[in-house]
Amino acid sequence: MRRTIRILPDSVANQIAAGEVVERPASVVKELVENALDAGATRVEISLESGGKRMIRVADDGDGMIREDALLALDRHATSKIASADDLRGVPTFGFRGEALPSIASVSRLAVETRHGSEGVGTRVRVKGGTITGVEDLPRTPGTTVTVESLFFNAPARARFLRTPAVETRAVSELLSPLCLAHPEVRLSLESGGKSLLDLRGGVTLLQRVGELWGAEVRETLLEVEGESGGRRVWGLIQRPDTVRPGFRRTALFVAGRPFREAGILRAVDRGYRTTIPPGHRPWTVLFLEVPPGEVDVNVHPTKAEVRFRDRSGIEALVEESVRRALEGEDSAARLDGGRATGTTGKSGGAPGTGGDAPGDLPAIAAAEGHRAAPTDRPEQKAGVEGGAAGAGRVVRERPGRSVGTGGPRRPAGEAVEDSQMGLFLPADGGREATGPGTTGNPDPAYEDAGQGRDDMDTLPSLARPRLWQIHRAWIMAEVRDGILLIDQHAAHERVLFEQIMARFQGEGGESQRLLFPFTVRLTRAEHDLVMDLAGLLNRAGFEVEGFGGDTVIVHAVPNPHPHFDAEGCFREMVDELTHGSPLVRSARNQHERVAMSYACKAAIKAGQPLELREMQELFDQLFATELPFHDVHGRPTTVRLTRTELERKFGR
């Protein structure tokens, strides 16, 4: 019997390898540009003809090759990037692709022109279909130029599957985008048919590079994000919640500078946005991950498009927590002018609009020393405002450090985000108290005495509380350091109530107001069953409910979120929403959030409700004591800021 197993010739083996590495002209460009970046290039120029089918040229000014290396680079399994199997666990470059150049050469006419800085003359190597046809000296500057012509000239079946030049050119442009984001320090240019398609400056920041690629309007909507835990670090840019839209989404993920795809990371980003954007909205994202060596495997995909993390849940938790923290800062608030905040982001510790020179040790928004408000008996108000509801000293967040999942960083209460929010209300004149109609300060000596004897007040500068006005019985306008802040009274109160109820669920619950005359509510069978199932949660939310025979329940106690609260109406609307569903409660992660979201929406102060000055003060203080003061539970903004710069521009100043 004749032998049927045979060893393939190198020419055939190279074409098979090329099928894995070289799918289309964009694949060739990817391999050549990555090699140029690995060589330390500061300038990379890409030229195409007929979408790359006729010609691809990639030129760089990186470290060139000596003649011996140029010849070895065309052999299979030849590389400068690894030396042993152990190196595969932590490749610091774009990865080892020992078959990339010979695979490309096996299906094209290829020329490599290169010169190392240690040599006085360069080298040109010509290859046709995998066979070297010429080697010669070449005068040139240090660097490398690779020219690929007649791609798939010897594989006509592959060539027939290539698309039109316009489609192939677009594929090259889209493939270059993540590489450009990963290396904003490198100047990159792309031309096709002599027409410049891309010309990016080198030595720019990530934000500037995003603006060059995605447009200046998108750049103005981005926030900085950064987090670190257990030797892992995440940083990058995310979209401001009020600018997030459903539908098309741009994302770029990198680990050790290498672009990759991972749906789990994007889901973690979306979880970080919970309650700040409506369901179905898709934020644009650029994130860089840095992990210790050995915690990521980059060799699970032939083109290195996917990676595998040893502790995937920990990475996702770090991403979610970092996004959440970025959204707590004032920079995430909606803006009428649509631009970026002029100050620093929450993670930097400075006050927005102040260039970062605000005191870094103040825990939250600080009211003017000596201006106190009357005390309150409501436990939920005491939890949010130290010493009273309407201006009693400092608004303090009594939240312990927390972590999300198994790998999120723990953050002590009173970190940089609080400094950022406080900086919004610093007086522009360096601390002088604002006076005049509409101010919220109260000069009554009785209020001044309320906070005497507290040691921590000695460390606080005298800070002005912004003036407050109610507009059309729906919005509260505040004069802040760098313009005007408009607050939606219903959305703001939603955020306050949501976080109060979630805190009750995590603690011992809260006090309720017992009714002198309990009320009964007749329900459908489905509603009755749901109320009985949720009786424990409803009780911790403030509704003391028990069965009253048949499909009727009796309510003995209710929460008291504000003086205008309609307890029975709120209870009925909550039961209806929780039974039949709504986009709001369907976006919740668990039953606790469903109850808290529904309660916050139904119990909050409504638009059209007139508020006294003290009530506006109380709402203002409680809002900026929450974790996410700039977003309600529906994902809508609670505040909109109009900067002084925009005001001056509108009036032609």
pLDDT at 45 over 50: yes
**pLDDT band with cut points at 50, 70 and 90 for residue 435:** very low
Spatial contact of 603 and 559, defined as CB atoms under 8 Å apart = yes
Q: How many CB atoms lie within 10 A of CB 90?
A: 16
- pLDDT at residue number 589: 86
The pLDDT of 578-592, averaged and rounded, is 91
The pLDDT of 113-138, averaged and rounded, is 93
pLDDT at 477 over 90: yes
Q: Which domains does the chain have, with CATH numbers?
A: 10-202 (3.30.565.10), 207-327 (3.30.230.10), 334-491+610-650 (3.30.1540.20), 513-558+565-603 (3.30.1370.100)
Q: What is the pLDDT of residues 348-390, one digit of tens each?
A: 333 333 333 333 332 233 333 333 333 334 333 333 333 333 3
Measured CA distances, 300 to 294, 296, 307, 583, 605 (Å): 14, 10, 6, 39, 54
Percent of the chain with pLDDT over 90: 54
- pLDDT at residue number 481: 83
Residue 301: both structure tokens together: 């995909």
The pLDDT of 89-103, averaged and rounded, is 59
The pLDDT of 603-609, averaged and rounded, is 94
Higher pLDDT, 429 or 80: 80
Question: Which of 31-45, 125-139, 357-371 has the lowest average pLDDT?
Answer: 357-371
Number of Cα atoms under 13 Å in the Cβ half of residue 238: 32
- pLDDT at residue number 227: 95
- pLDDT at residue number 20: 59
Q: What is the pLDDT of residues 402-428, one digit of tens each?
A: 333 333 333 443 444 444 454 555 444
**pLDDT band with cut points at 50, 70 and 90 for residue 490:** very high
Which of 643, 38, 40 shows the shortest CA–CA distance to 342? 643
Apex CA 247: angle with CA 337 and CA 234, to 5°?
A: 75
Q: What is the pLDDT of residues 193-226, one digit of tens each?
A: 999 999 999 999 999 999 999 999 999 999 999 9
3-class state of residue 585 by DSSP = helix
Q: What is the pLDDT of residues 293-352, one digit of tens each?
A: 888 877 666 566 778 888 999 999 999 999 999 999 888 888 876 665 544 333 333 333
The reported pTM is: 0.71
Cα torsion angle, 93, 99, 104, 109, sign: positive
- pLDDT at residue number 452: 38
H/E stretch holding 109 reads strand 109-115
Q: Are strands 334-335 and 639-643 parallel, antiparallel or unpaired?
A: parallel
pLDDT at 454 over 50: no
**SS3 assignment for 466-510:** CCEEEECCCEEEEEECCEEEEEEHHHHHHHHHHHHHHHHHHCCCC
Q: Are strands 285-290 and 296-297 parallel, antiparallel or unpaired?
A: unpaired
The pLDDT of 166-185, averaged and rounded, is 95
- pLDDT at residue number 257: 83
Residue 44: both structure tokens together: 């990379």
The pLDDT of 442-455, averaged and rounded, is 37
Which of 491, 501, 487, 497 shows the shortest CA–CA distance to 616? 487
**pLDDT band with cut points at 50, 70 and 90 for residue 32:** very high
Which of 8, 343, 24, 296 shows the shortest CA–CA distance to 169? 24
The pLDDT of 492-517, averaged and rounded, is 88
